[in-house]
Structure 1
Amino acid sequence: MLKNLASPEAINREHFDYIVVGSGFGSGFFLKKLLETTNGRILVLERGDFNPHQWQVEEQRNSSINRADTYTSNSDKPWNFTIGFGGGTNCWFAQSPRFLPNDFRLKSLYGVGADWPLSYDELEPYYCDAEDIMSISGDDDMASIAPRSRPFPQPPHHPSTPDRVMKEAHPDTHFIIPTARARISTENRNRCCASLRCMICPADAKFTAQNGLMDVFNDDRVTVALRCRVLGFDSSSNAVKSVSFEQDGKTYSATGDVFVLGANAIHSPAIMLASGMADGFTGLGLNETYGADLEVLLDGMNNFDGSTITTGLDYSFADGDFRSERGASLIYFENRWKFGLRPERSRWQESLPLSVVTEEILEDENKVELDENNEPLVQFKGPSDYAKRGLQAAIDGLSNILTPLPVEEIVFKRYRQTESHLQSTMRMGKTADTSVVDSDLIHHKYRNLVVVGSSVFPTCGTGNPSLTVAALSLRAADRLTSSQEV
């Protein structure tokens, strides 16, 4: 449980050294590193409530707040996130691949998108730190595509039979997926039970704020205020001075020296817009990867014998000169019955569900604005042609990639509505002319404002974003405290 809870009345008009908005991946990992060096007083403002793991299991939901009630949209595309203590650490499936080195230099290599203002090599030590904190399970041979300076903290999950065959035939492109689902029990987490219910893990095996960061939020230097919705910041002389927030219709405020904005890619830009602090790129470029589900019917080979929900990750379409024309794709080998069992007698396991997920390109028409009630409004026109071409090329190439398997038929099932990875509305870059924050995640104009989370991604990337969010946050806190010491 949370130890240092405070009511809004108790913190009203109080001053803090650091004020953090949100308690998800970005905020939690930023605080983890910050607390190594600071003696300052820290306030965390969380819009949602603390919903214990047991409550989530019993209620079969991550939060008491319906995310769809917190924004409106001009499209029926869902944008999935959790509002509550721990944010996305509650609802994620704990897939934890790194971005690839070339994901950070899309513009200079392929002439599209943008380069990140930092390199893979600069982020690599923080990738290791994040993996250690989350006890990531993975296969060290992934260093062949994403160089690493330390081994994974835990061994990889047990692969499925199709994974083993693919790995033997394509050792340079097929890997056991890294996950924050424990392969081996830890002090606070049980071993993955492979019950295929990762959004609300019944075994408490996946990393969450509740089983992995409570030492951070229960630190005596940290005060947490729940059910406090941030309304906006007040600023002067290019610095944030205070934050206003409300609970039950009453408005409160607190002043601070450094502010950390860690809401999601819809609500972070909305807060900036409501504050009158938005520049030309705030809210623009909302995106996530674009995907499809397929089922591979196998002839005489069984599947579903792996030790976790997703076992394999194929990088055959993850990088190359083609990215100048179409998006890169990852292929996820599933160890779950996404489409039910095969009905033929004695063949119920002869099926391999696949998810193909393709990087998007940032388009400014996809954006977050404010409606007439000052609430977030999402404008979304649909996936780009760049992503559509990339996804189709990967689907068309599956029959060639899967030649090591006894493929009977590849059946297209559906385009995926969402990957639950909204990002890029507070993009990072070298200058204010092209971005909102710099490589240290500090706002170009408001130099005491740090923005964390996937909203800072200047390109979509190919992998799940949470590990990269954690690594960026660790680096940002390290860089901030190092600069303050000088």
Structure 2
Amino acid sequence: MARLKNLTPAENVAGQHFDTIIIGSGFGSGFFLLEALKHKRTGRVLLLEWGEIRSHAEQMEAGAHSAIKPGTTYTNSSAKPWNFTIGFGGGTNCWFGQTPRFHPSDFRLHSLYGVGRDWPFDYAELEPYYCEAEEVMAISGDEDMAAVLPRSRPFPQPAHILSTPDAMLKKARKDMHFAMPTARARLATDSRPACCANLRCTLCPIDAKFTANNSLTGVFEHPSVTFCAGARVDHLETENGLVRSVHFETGTGSHTVSGDLIVLGANAIHSPAILLRSGIGSGLTGRGLHEAYGIEAEVMLDGIDNFDGSTITTGLDYGAYDGPFRKTSGSALLYFENRWKFGFRPETGRWRQTLPIVIVVEELPRDGDRIELDPNGQPHVIGEAPSAYARDGAERAFNLLPEILAALPVERIEKRGVRPTESHLQGSLRMGTDPARSVVDHNQIHHVCRNLAVVGSSVFPSCSAANPSLTVAAMSLRAGRSLLA
């Protein structure tokens, strides 16, 4: 197993007191720690990670990010799987590196359209933190995106090379069709080579996408940080509205540490499970688990080839994203694939005349989709089928494809089925200003335990059709600065 310089056995920290204790090492925890280390109030930090530390080479050799299979850590009576990585870096390992920002309307869904919930801050407040997170991850992006998602700084890296169909759509739809913003490097950085479009992004063979391993190791190895791997947090102990201690298990037994600030950065299944085992919070704890809904389409092209772009997903189209239709059906984002996921066409000379499109649609969080504890105290996921709101949004977007693709020579468009998961679990500890309707406040501090911060996508009050990782990173920078500056 790979090592960090400050990796410490649990026995060496048991019974000790720390200024800050961080649970988990994924996007939320990593970017919170990045910001926290800039402030003296952070003090001495203990980081507890359930999984092991695997280097990129070890992940490649094993063909897996972690020895812990996510499905073994919870039981599930919902109709879908929930994907995540338990290990050093969390979701920074398994993600594809897609980094669109959330749309300004996503933060005001209820105010604009009377459905869902508003966020306790808006796009403008988060925008500077988006820029900071993009700098850390060296995001490649299309400056024309400012027409839809206003920005105060340029992208750190130039956009990836578009495929031929994307380039045609970009020319015809400059204010709606863009090169995908991504943490797959367009140009080599000090720690990452340029993306080579090998189309194996979940475990990038050349290590071109941003991960904790290749870009945040120095943060986790900071002299103020002590790191314990193989430490599964069981519960928190509270007194007088404060978390006083953290109880965790390792291969050598049970251990307890105390701290002044506790940062909960497990995922949207395991963070609420820890709080439920701790008896912390209201009946909203664990409720509202959700993710976006996705369907696949394939466009048969007439006379032009595809798959000549410089990364796995080259285009992003906002033609079905925002408008009054969101009162009754979900927003949709269209992802244009630069990979032959449905195979090549069989006709001689037309093998590459096909365009796969992923249609990702926002879902409305529902309290019936939730985390409970099973008789053994482990998380059990209860979930309903996708809502009519999400299904109608997907159907609407699919029906708009002929109009959106008008600049292409389209022979026919075929549905290729529903995607089993978008692998972006979120929303089980939602954020808001009203303690009766939310679990954490606008700074991601727990309404009941005021020295407990929650980071990660579990605090999202509503869904978006966009990938959540960049937003998690930006929010964690904001939370760290709000709490510690």
Please name the residue that 1:212 is paired with.
215
Match of 2:21 in 1: 19
Equivalent in the alignment of 1:71: 74
SS at match of 2:247: strand
Question: Among 335, 344, 362, which residue is 2:347 paired with?
Answer: 344
Counterpart amino acid of 2:5? K
The question of whether the paired residues in 1 share the 8 Å contact of 2:133 and 2:473 is answered with yes
Question: Which letter maps to 2:376?
Answer: N
Cα distance in 2 for partners of 1:285, 1:31 equals: 27
Q: CA deviation at 1:294?
A: 1.1
CA contact (8 A) 2:369 2:384 kept: yes
- Counterpart residue number, 1:98: 101
Aligned to 2:196: 193
* C-alpha distance in structure 1 between counterparts of 2:419 and 2:465, whole Å: 16
Among 21, 29, 51, which residue is 1:48 paired with? 51
Q: CA deviation at 1:445?
A: 1.1
Secondary structure of 1:355's aligned partner: strand
CA distance in 2, matches of 1:232, 1:278: 13
Measure, in 1, the Cα distance between the counterparts of 2:425 and 2:439.
Answer: 17
Correspondence for 2:415: 412
Residue 471 (structure 1) aligned to one of 471, 474, 478 = 474
TM-score (norm 2): 0.98
Which residue of 83, 89, 93 maps to 2:92? 89
Alpha-carbon separation, structure 2, partners of 1:322 and 1:212: 41
Q: For 2:332 and 2:273, how far apart are their aligned partners in 1?
A: 30
CA distance in 2, matches of 1:337, 1:301: 15
Q: CA deviation at 1:278?
A: 2.8
Q: 1:122 corresponds to which residue?
A: 125
Superposition map of 1:90-239 within 5 A: 90-239=93-242
1:414-448 Cα offsets, whole Å, 9 max, x none, are: 10000000000010001101101111111111110
Aligned residue for 1:377?
Answer: 380
CA deviation profile, 1:204-223 (whole Å, cap 9, x unmatched) = 10000011111110100001
- Say which of 441, 444, 448 aligns to 1:445: 448
Report the 3-state secondary structure (helix = DSSP H, G, I; strand = E; otherwise coil) of the residue aligned with 1:163. Answer: helix
Opposite residue 3 of structure 1, the aligned amino acid is K
1:479 is displaced (CA, Å) by: 0.4
Q: Classify the secondary structure of the residue corresponding to 1:390.
A: helix
Counterparts of 1:146 and 1:401 in 2: how far apart (Å)?
19
Alpha-carbon distance in structure 1 between the residues aligned to 2:4 and 2:140:
28
Structure 2 residue aligned with 1:33, among 32, 35, 39?
Answer: 35
Deviations 1:138-178 (Å, cap 9, x if unpaired)? 01111111110000000000000001110111111101010
- The aligned counterpart of 2:9 is 7
Q: Whole-Å Cα distance in 2 between the matches of residues 390 and 366 of structure 1? A: 20
- Stretches of structure 2 lacking an aligned partner (at least 5 in a row): none
Q: How many residues align?
A: 482
Distance in structure 2 (CA, Å) of the matches to 1:115 and 1:75 = 26
Q: Say if 2:296 and 2:417, in contact at 8 Å, map to a contact too.
A: yes
Confirm whether residue 60 of structure 1 aligns to residue 75 of structure 2: no
Q: Which residue of 2 aligns with 1:386?
A: 389
Letter in 1 for 2:273: A
**Could you report, residue by residue, the CA deviation over 1:69-116 in whole angstroms, capped at 9, with x for unpaired residues?**
000011341100000000000000000000011110000000000110
| Matching residue within 415, 427, 430 for 1:427 | 430
User: Match of 2:414, SS?
Assistant: strand
Q: CA deviation at 1:401?
A: 1.1
Structure 1 residue 248, shift from structure 2 partner: 2.1
The answer to whether the Cα contact below 8 Å between 2:116 and 2:364 also exists between their aligned partners in 1 is yes
Structure 2 SS opposite 1:387: helix
CA deviation map 1:340-372 (0-9, x unaligned): 111111111101000000000011110000001
Q: RMSD value over aligned CA atoms?
A: 0.8
Residue 304 (structure 2) aligns with: 301
Distance 1:179 1:111 in 2: 32
Distance in 1 between residues matched to 2:9 and 2:75, nearest whole Å: 29
Q: Among the aligned pairs, what percent are the same residue?
A: 57
Calculate the TM-score normalised by the size of structure 1.
0.98
Contact preservation (8 Å) 2:169, 2:177: yes
Q: State the distance in 1 between where 2:360 and 2:273 align.
A: 28
1:262 pairs, out of 260, 265, 270, with: 265
Q: 2:464 aligns with which of 461, 482, 485?
A: 461
SS at match of 2:167: helix
Shift of 1:280: 2.0
Preserved contact between residue 164 and residue 306 of structure 2 (Cα < 8 Å): yes
1:413 & 1:121 partners in 2: Cα distance?
37
- Aligned-partner residue type, residue 33 of structure 1: E
CA contact (8 A) 2:140 2:184 kept: yes
Instruction: Tell me how far apart the structure 2 counterparts of residues 386 and 249 of structure 1 sit (CA, whole Å).
Output: 48
Provide the rounded CA distance (Å) in 2 between the counterparts of 1:469 and 1:355: 22
For residues 479 and 399 of structure 1, the distance between their equivalents in structure 2, rounded to whole angstroms, comes to: 46
Stretch deviating more after TM superposition (260-269 or 58-67):
58-67
Instruction: Provide the C-alpha distance between the structure 1 equivalents of 2:231 and 2:36, rounded to a whole number of angstroms.
Output: 23
Q: Which amino acid counterpart does residue 327 of structure 1 have in structure 2?
A: G
Is the CA contact 2:46–2:227 (under 8 Å) kept in the aligned structure 1? yes
SS at match of 2:360: strand
User: Could you tell me how far apart the structure 1 residues matched to 2:192 and 2:450 are?
Assistant: 38
Instruction: Write out the 4+ residue segments of structure 1 that deviate beyond 3 Å after TM superposition.
Output: none
Instruction: State yes or no: 1:354 paired with 2:337.
Output: no
Which amino acid is 1:30 matched to? F
Paired position in structure 1 for 2:249? 246
- Looking at structure 2, the residues matched to 131 and 227 of structure 1 have their Cα atoms a distance apart, in angstroms, of 30
- Quote the Cα distance in structure 2 between the aligned partners of 1:116 and 1:90: 28
Q: CA deviation at 1:203?
A: 1.0
